[in-house]
Each structure stands twice: as C-alpha cells, then as structure tokens.
Amino acid sequence: MGFYELAEKALALEKAGRKVVRLNVGDTNLPTPQCAIDAAVGSLKRSKSGYCSSAGLPELRQKIAEREGCDARNVVVGPGSKHLLYGLMSVLCKAGGTVAFPSPSWPAYGLACRQLGLKAHEIKTTFDARWEFRPAEALARRPKLLVICNPLNPTSTIYAEKTMTDTIAGAQEAGITVVLDEAYKGLAFRDVPRYEGGTVIRVRSFSKEFNMEGWRLGYAVAPEEVVKKLVSFNQVATTCTAPFVQMAGIACLEDEKAILEENRKAWRSRSEAAQKALAKAGFRFVKPDAGIYVFATHPGITDAEAFAAGLLETEVIAVAPGTEFGGYNSFIRICVNQPEDGLADAIGRMGRFLEKGPT
Ligand code: PMP
C-alpha cells in the first residue's frame, strides 16, 4: 500500500470510529499560534476578503524580506510551498529537462516531475554515509534544476555546510539553478546557514514552522526575473493567497523567535522520546538534526509497504513506507507528532508486531 493510499485508509478508519495513531503524514498536531488566529479573524472582520496581489501582500513580502535579508522584490508568496515548488518546476523547465534531487526525498518532487513531463533524477545516498550526497554526483547530469531539501524530509538530517557550499559553487559555474526547500529550517536543532548565490532559490513554508499546514502559506526568495515568472504562475493557477492567511503570516513573523523556540523544544523532546523507543525496539536510524521525522530501519522490515499495511490493519498505527521516498524498502518514516508517552507506546507496539513476524 503506497503513501497516499495508506493516508486515505487511515483517515477512513478514523472516520469509522477507530483510534488511529497517525504517524504517517507530516501533520504537526500542535496548535496554530494564537497571534495568527487573531490576525486572521481581525482581517476577516475588517472585510479584508477581496483578491490581492499575485505576488503577495506588500506588508508580508516586506516582513519576509527582513527575515531573509533580501529585497521585497525578491519575494513571492504562494498558497503553500508545494504550490511554489511545482510552479518553479513549471516555469523554469518550460522546454523540458531534468530535475535532480538527493534521495531519500519527499515524494512530491518526483510526482511533480511526472505531472509536468520532466525527467526526475534521484541522487542516491546511503544510511552509512549518513544520507550525505556528493556535490559532483549532484551536478553530473547537468540538471535544469537541483532541488535540495535541507533539513531533509524524510530523515530530518542537515547536509554538511561544505557539501552545500561546494554544490552551490559548482552549480553556479555550470549555470544550474539550485532550489533549496527549507520547509523545516526553523525546526532545526542547530543553526542552518543561509545559503545564497546567483542561482539559488530558497523556498519556505509556514506549515511546519508555525503549525499552519491547512492554512496554505509559503514563499520563495528568488532573483527578480524568477519572481516575475512565479507571479505569472500564481496569476494563472490561484490569483492570490488568501489575504487573511497572509495577515496571520505577518503576525507569526512578528513573534517568530518565541514561537519557533517553543516548537523546537517540543520537537526535540518528542524526537528524543521516539528515538529512545525505536532503539529499544531494535530500529536503526541516523540521529535527526531537526523536527519532525525519524527515518528508521529494522531487520524485520523488508517490504515497507506490506509492513505499513499490516501495522495499520493490526495495530491501527499508520507509518509512511520508505518505498515512496526513493525505494527504501526496509525503512519507514515516522512523524513524531504525538506526546512523548503516546510515541513510546505506539513504537513499543510496533516492536511487538515485528517480533511476531509476518502474519
Ligand atoms: N517541502 C517539504 C520537504 C515538505 O515535506 C512539505 C510538506 N510535507 C512541503 C515542502 C510543502 O509544504 P506546504 O505546501 O504545506 O507549505
């Protein structure tokens, strides 16, 4: 059972009254900051519900520019970073081409390529190399775009600074655009440098950093000519991002330090509880450097899709099979989105399910 099929099945079970532990999807299960809710409601009460600029509200673009150390002209807002990543592939690969990305990878990159008729090139990495990729390999096929997710979904690891700077320098020389997907940057347990350069585009999301998955808010920081293309894409695809959602985004950025500090604390504690329970149950994983996932393997897992389907059926616990993240059939991805004792309990049950062997 694949990732999306499993997610639907878990929801259907929940709707039928079963208590499903949903560790499969990257839902934070943390409350949206009150300041965001107040700002959105205030905006709606003032009837700020018409269309707005396809580039984003000027006030939000300005706030993002301050956060990112760039000019507001280099910022474009969209309804979620997924929309902007798809938009970037669409506008920058009009004539076709290859999109490369280190693997394991978030499934949406490959799916977007398929949708757009682009060639996806997965740069395979290994557990033993701590999921690090080699810059020369990343650039070897001269992709049109090189998408690097940092911290990485599904492993929550951070690429070494030298890997990143060497890759960006090489890409610049070869005229390859690097898209940095930084959806989890604010949830990193240590500082992630700001990577810049002529051909670097950074994409960020409010979904995980500010617990706003369903609100749909993200942005890209890009050279002005790319911003113009993305604005055209927004005009065609969505007109604008809901203004009250953007007002909520401004409120979050005004209180960013406190919100992110609290969220990082929660993720660190949940992640550590999950790691302890996973180790006890015989799983192996590269220690996460960030929220919100652990990508783990177990000698008893050889077909991750079958394992995930069986676990859902028997224990009513949903996990994401590693298969979908680039064919990692002995791995599962767990989103550590439960209180610590809930995680320990679910992982303990997973371990016992594995001990029983194939049914
Ligand atoms: N990038 C990565 C790596 C993700 O995991 C996600 C969400 N799962 C996104 C981007 C998209 O986030 P959103 O569209 O909610 O901003």
Give the number of the atom of ligand 1 that is nearest the alpha carbon of residue 217: 16
Handedness of CA 238, 201, 107, 317 (dihedral sign): negative
Instruction: Answer whether residue 359 shows pLDDT above 70.
Output: no
pLDDT digits (tens, 9 = 90+) for 196-208: 987 899 999 999 9
How many angstroms is it from 355 CA to the middle of ligand 1? 34
How many angstroms is it from 290 CA to the middle of ligand 1? 15
pLDDT band per the 50, 70, 90 thresholds, residue 358:
low
Terminus-to-terminus CA distance in the chain, angstroms? 16
Average pLDDT estimate for 226-234: 98
pLDDT digits (tens, 9 = 90+) for 233-275: 999 999 999 999 999 999 999 999 999 999 999 999 999 999 9
User: What are the start-end ranges of the E strands in the chain?
Assistant: 21-22, 75-78, 98-103, 119-124, 145-149, 177-181, 200-205, 218-221, 284-285, 293-297, 317-318, 320-321, 331-335
Nearest to 291 by CA among 189, 148, 214, 150: 189
Whole-number pLDDT of residue 270: 98
Rounded Cα–Cα distance for residues 230 and 79 (Å): 12
Whole-number pLDDT of residue 49: 78
User: What are the start-end ranges of the E strands in 11-57?
Assistant: 21-22
Q: Can you count the helices (H) and strands (E) in the chain?
A: 12, 13
Contact between 63 and 246 under an 8 Å Cβ cutoff? The reply is no
Closest residue CA from atom 3 of ligand 1? 153
Residue listed under structure tokens 């396809």: 54
**Domains of the chain, first to last:** 3-31+258-356 (3.90.1150.10), 34-254 (3.40.640.10)
Whole-number pLDDT of residue 2: 82
Residues with CB under 6 A from ligand 1: 26, 80-82, 106, 149, 153, 181, 183, 205, 207, 213, 218
How many angstroms is it from 204 CA to the middle of ligand 1? 8
Give the number of the atom of ligand 1 that is nearest the alpha carbon of residue 206: 16
- Counting ligand 1 atoms within 8 A of each CB, the residue from 77, 86, 106 with the most, and so the one to mutate, is 106
Mean per-residue pLDDT over the chain, rounded: 96
Closest residue CA from atom 2 of ligand 1? 183
Task: Write out the DSSP string of 134-165.
Answer: -HHHHHTT--SEEEEESSPTTT-----HHHHH
Contact between 302 and 296 under an 8 Å Cβ cutoff? The reply is no
How many angstroms is it from 291 CA to the middle of ligand 1? 13
How many angstroms is it from 90 CA to the middle of ligand 1? 17
Q: With a threshold of 0.85, does the pTM exceed it?
A: yes
Instruction: Answer whether residue 159 shows pLDDT above 80.
Output: yes
Which tokens belong to 137? 């390999």
Residue listed under structure tokens 């000027």: 58
Closest residue CA from atom 1 of ligand 1? 183
Give the number of the atom of ligand 1 that is nearest the alpha carbon of residue 85: 10
pLDDT digits (tens, 9 = 90+) for 114-143: 999 999 999 999 999 999 999 999 999 899
Cβ-in-10-Å burial (0-12, 13-18, 19+) of 128 comes to: exposed
Rounded Cα–Cα distance for residues 186 and 193 (Å): 11
Which tokens belong to 304? 């991750």
Instruction: Answer whether residue 357 shows pLDDT above 80.
Output: no
Whole-number pLDDT of residue 328: 97
Rounded Cα–Cα distance for residues 317 and 18 (Å): 10
Closest residue CA from atom 8 of ligand 1? 26
How many angstroms is it from 207 CA to the middle of ligand 1? 7
Give the number of the atom of ligand 1 that is nearest the alpha carbon of residue 181: 1
Whole-number pLDDT of residue 226: 98
Closest residue CA from atom 4 of ligand 1? 183
Whole-number pLDDT of residue 310: 95
